[in-house]
Each structure stands twice: as structure tokens, then as C-alpha cells.
Structure 1
Amino acid sequence: MIRLEVEGMTCNHCVMAVKKALLKVPGVKDAQVFLDRKEALVEGEADPALLVRAVEEEGYRARVREA
């Protein structure tokens, strides 16, 4: 599982936009996005750099959070 810190989300619309973007990345099986924790949990074998880019293309800031 890959854990991302996501900055800039303010509402459930933001959560859905981030989740939709993450699910489009090759190798992602599932994604859960949490507004209150400002994070996303991604299941699958996706490239973390592509996950960060997908979130940033939606207008949010993201970085991989170490376990």
C-alpha cells in the first residue's frame, strides 16, 4: 500500500476528484482518500511518482508519506 499526503483538499468534491485521478493511474487497484487526515491510501503496484503527478494535475499538492 502506498500512502500519500495530500494538501489542498477542502471538501468531499476534492476527495472525489483525487480518488478519481488516482484510480486512473496504471496499476492502481483501489484508492481511499481521507479529507480529515489529508491522505490517500493506494492499493496496487502503481509508480508513486505517477500517483503524485495525478494528484497535482487535479490542483492539489501530494507527496509519498513514509510508513
Structure 2
Amino acid sequence: MSQHKKKITIRVTAQTAYHLEQMAQAAGAAPGRIVDSLVTAARKGGSHGRNRQSETKKGEAE
């Protein structure tokens, strides 16, 4: 295990918490691991949901 860990608390809506728990259960992992993988994917240029789509639409309009 890495020694470079820090415990944090994130505040999410009830709906987001539900979805994180469902994803964690499906993956057999803790919700924190799911958050970690989503953050990692976002840093690598993964899909950002609505924000990514709105940026694409702005780029097409110009």
C-alpha cells in the first residue's frame, strides 16, 4: 500500500451517492475507488458528461 494517502470527505447529492454505491456494488469495490477511477479518467481526458458536450457545441458554432 502506498503511504501517500490522505483521507478526505466529499459532499454529493443523494442521487450521486446512490449511483456511486450502485457502481461500487457492481464492481465489487468501495465507493472511494469508484470516485478515484472517475477522477483519473477525467484527468486523462475522459468524458465529462454535459460539460464536454457543451464545449463541443461551442466549438462547432464558431
TM-score normalised by structure 1 residue count: 0.30
- Structure richer in helix, relative to its length: 2
- Structure richer in strand, relative to its length: 1
**Greater relative contact order structure (CA < 8 Å, 6+ sep):** 1
- Select the structure of larger CA radius of gyration: 2
